[in-house]
Structure 1
Amino acid sequence: MESVNLLVETVDGGDVRTKEDVCQILELAAIKENDLNIVTQCLYSTQNYKIDNLMLLEVDNHILETLNKGDIISFRGNKHDDAILCTKTRTYEVKEAEISNSWLLVPNLKLNQATNVEEVTERIIGRRNIKKIFTSYYEVKETKPNLTNLSTFLNSSSFNGLEYESMINPKTLYSWEKLQTELQASDHELKQALADFLIADINGYLRLVSFDVEARSLNLMLDYFGEQSWELDEVDKESTYECLKELIHEPVFNAIFEKYTQVSTKTKIDGSPLYIYDERKCCAMIARILLAASPVTEYKEFMETWTIGIPEKMQLKEEYLCGAALVTYNASKMQKEVVSCPEADLSNNIHKRLNELFQIKAKWTAEEITPYIMRFTKGTMNVNALLTKYARCSTKNGLKYYGSKHGK
């Protein structure tokens, strides 16, 4: 059987293998020269083979496809963080693993048929230098993005109004590029996380719009909507901004308008688009404003106040409270109450969040708890899978309820 003919050695003092040396080694090894290809390659370790700018990285099909397409993969995080590798859409943890046998990196090494030169009868001796000897490699495993610090980064420079801008430390500002560098998450996952916040691009920096600014601005926009007697799907963006531009900073207006509206099927006379307010989002925000002032309110009183606070063209529904508040029964007062419970205020860790939720209320229906755990779903790990894994199911009056896995 033909095979590549290799002799490996560490050369000291500049010694070089000759054809005679090769033949002698073959004789000692009881190998017939005729059984081998005509080219013999001798491997030499050099003084600088321990270079630090090369590493072996095991990759999965997704990373391989990314590299073959010429897309970027990058290591992200600060120097004190564990190594994290990111593609455009996925995040991987990187761990070092030992190799049982040392692996050699040899540039220009000929393999298989390349060592069989038919027209040559004399054995050819080639020199190949070992570029690096590997005793370990790095393996990757897909993991969840590390976005723990995102809220901290954004809160440090939140936009509270133009009158407060002089108080903002420029070092606390984050551009998209800076967030990419410091947060260990793929671009896609980072954009998904940012979608949970109201972000305005102000002078190239991503600024979290504070709750007070968002509440005040949305109220102004909805008041103007009511004054114009438009239908819900006839909102004129340009007219709204022109009226409110002295009261709402333009990047903030654009961010709020994008969050609370979508393009309507109707258009203006010149063909430019009209917009429709998202009834659920608007009603939910008005509810949050009321709950910020009074976190616990008697149910009937809250519903009456909530109805007054929304535009006449909107119809509120109790389900709009999901993710912002809970409707509970206070046995000591013998009354239904609306209790503030904003999803954004809970822990970003699934275990801690569920513990917090089960302390607030021991039993939840799937519909009630879904807004509070939706952010943890990914791929096949949907809401039902999360509840099966982390909670205990029980049935009462034909309804399924979920509680602490270690509770009673």
Structure 2
Amino acid sequence: MHAEKRTLNVHEEKRNELLSSMRIMNIHVKENVCEILELAGIKESDLNIMTQSLYSMQDHQANDMILLEVDEEILKGLNQGDAISFRGNKHDNAMLCTQICTYEVREAEISNSWLLVPNLKLGKTTDIEEVTERTIERHNIKKIFNLYYEVKETKPDLIYLSSLLKSSSFNGLEYESTIDRNVLYSWERLQNELQASDQELKQALSDFLIVEIDGYLRLISFDIEARSLDLILDYFERQSWELDEVDKENIYEFLKELIYEPVFDVILKRFIEEKCCAVIAKVLLATSPVTEYKEFMKTWNIGTPEKMQPRERYLHGSALIMYNTSKLQKEVISCPEADLPNNIHDRLNELFEIKAKWTVEEITPYIIRFTKSIMNVNALLTKYARCSTKNGIKYYGSKHDK
């Protein structure tokens, strides 16, 4: 027993000695490798002919690297040369953005440490047939990973986009000298600060009336929009033009002293697009007064000119978007303003029977004809309807509802 124990102790001491020497000096000696294999009970004949020794480089670690797990869409985009970026301010949680999607980024632990070893050979590449003696290669570990980052697709939070743009609204050339340049946003600044993919950000911007002035994206104020559109429509009426007869150069030449050219271009384009899309929507609604929402939007998109984009607001005054609880689906329902009663009381009663609660934006096209100089839409609703608030949004319904 004592002899056996002494033999084990000698082997253990020898093994520890070899391991210690490996930590201190570069081992490129075949005999040392073979001795370690023998102590580990591994037959050299069971291994490929190449041995690779790994060494940690504490002073040369790649500390600027992280591991990121990506899904198929991100990988596909990277392979096609698309860029990905982390966006937001320094106080925001990290968000990863591709050209079309936005992702939450979360830190996760690795159960077994992962080593980053450049030029490490794997599998059959360590089996060199023409070499008969064991060869030894040294490789440096550039980084040891204990954490990685995983991503989860999410919807971008663009709730502050409107407030960012409103602070620098374009109110006319005469007010430009009062604008603080620090509140202006270029496309690049919006990209950096708002956590959204380029496609999602552009889609959100398309919901606003935006003009680019000196490289900055500016929201056209309501006053400028209303005044400019009124001038354009007045000129339309004078010329007795149909929608397809619009002569842009002719209009601008007449109005150039009254409307700033970039503003004129944006408003005229939006007006023509809205009118064109609205006419096509009316044709579809006449054919099918009630249509499943996705089917209607698909057909509407196919029917409009290539560079025009149908939007829900273009249906205001022509149709309603409502949820059918019996069919469990959203539907587009024909509701032409011209078919409603010409009396404000009867009209509101019918509207509230169709839909119990309305936003100001939804109901305005149906009651704007009853407004007067001292009685605008809000005044009409205050007089004839009951106001309620849900999730910070004002709704109007029948005054007789409890």
Opposite residue 324 of structure 1, the aligned amino acid is E
Q: Which amino acid aligns with 2:93?
A: D
TM-fit CA distance, 1:9: 9.6
2: distance between equivalents of 1:46 and 1:206? Answer: 49
Looking at structure 2, the residues matched to 362 and 102 of structure 1 have their Cα atoms a distance apart, in angstroms, of 62
Contact 2:101–2:200 (CA<8 Å) still a contact in 1? yes
Find the counterpart in structure 1 of residue 64 from structure 2. Answer: 53
The one-letter amino acid paired with 1:63 is I
Return closer, same or farther for 1:301/1:323 CA change in 2, 3 Å cut-off.
closer
1:202 to 188, 213, 219: 213
Q: Does 1:324 align with 2:361?
A: yes
Aligned to 2:204: 193
Contact 1:44-1:130 within 8 A present in 2 as well = yes
Deviation track 1:163-217 (CA, whole Å, cap 9, x = no partner) reads 1111001111111111111111000000000011100011111000001110111
User: Does the alignment pair 1:339 with 2:375?
Assistant: no
The alpha-carbon deviation at position 218 of structure 1 amounts to: 0.5
1:257 Cα deviation after fit: 1.0
Q: Does 2:54 match 1:43?
A: yes
Percent identity reads: 58
**Residue 233 of structure 1: CA displacement?**
2.3
Aligned residue for 1:355?
391
- 8 Å CA contact 1:175, 1:206 repeated in 2: yes
Please state if 1:115 is matched with 2:150: no
Q: Taking structure 1 as the reference length, what is the TM-score of the superposition?
A: 0.66
Q: CA deviation at 1:231?
A: 1.7
Higher CA-based Rg = 2
Whether 2:273 is the aligned partner of 1:236: answer: no
Alpha-carbon spacing, 1:70–1:155, altered in 2? closer, same or farther (3 Å):
same
Structure 1 unaligned spans of 5+:
1-7, 265-274, 286-297, 305-317, 330-336, 341-352, 364-407
Within 2, Cα distance between the matches of 1:86 and 1:180?
10
Match for 1:33 among 38, 44, 65?
A: 44
Matched residues in 1 for 2:118 and 2:314: separation?
A: 63
Q: 1: distance between equivalents of 2:160 and 2:193?
A: 9
SS of equivalent to 2:156: coil
After TM superposition, give the deviation of residue 47 of structure 1 in Å. 1.9
1:259 deviation in Å? 0.8
The answer on whether the counterparts of 2:118 and 2:141 sit within 8 Å (CA) in structure 1 is: yes
* Separation in structure 1 between the aligned mates of residue 249 and residue 87 of structure 2, nearest angstrom: 40
Considering only aligned residues, what root-mean-square deviation do their CA atoms show, in Å? 3.7
**Contact 1:176/1:205 (<8 A) preserved:** yes
> Are residue 169 (structure 1) and residue 180 (structure 2) matched?
yes
Contact 1:40–1:123 (8 Å) recurs in 2: yes
Q: C-alpha deviations, 1:264-319, integer Å up to 9, x for none? A: 8xxxxxxxxxx99x9x979969xxxxxxxxxxxx9846999xxxxxxxxxxxxx99
Structure 1 residue 252: deviation in Å? 0.5
Going by fraction, where is helix more abundant, 1 or 2? 2
Distance of 2:193 and 2:167 partners within structure 1: 15
CA distance in structure 1 between the partners assigned to 2:98 and 2:226 by the alignment: 37
Q: What is the identity, as a one-letter code, of the residue corresponding to 2:56?
A: S
- Which segments of 5 or more consecutive residues in structure 2 lack a partner in the other structure? 1-18, 277-306, 318-340, 348-353, 368-378, 383-388
Secondary structure, aligned partner of 1:260 = helix
- In the alignment, the residues of structure 1 paired with residue 252 and residue 345 of structure 2 have an alpha-carbon distance, to the nearest angstrom, of 31
CA contact (8 A) 1:76 1:85 kept: yes
Q: For 1:181 and 1:9, locate their aligned partners in 2 and report how far apart those are by CA, in whole Å.
A: 51
Mapped to 2, the partners of 1:9 and 1:240 lie a distance apart of 88
Q: TM-score by structure 2 length?
A: 0.67
Among candidates 133, 140, 146, match of residue 144 of structure 2 = 133
Distance 2:261 2:346 in 1: 33
- 1:79, distance to aligned residue in structure 2 (A): 1.4
SS at match of 2:245: coil
Length, aligned pairs only: 300
CA–CA separation in structure 2 for the residues paired with 1:302 and 1:168: 45
9-18 vs 70-79, which deviates more?
Answer: 9-18
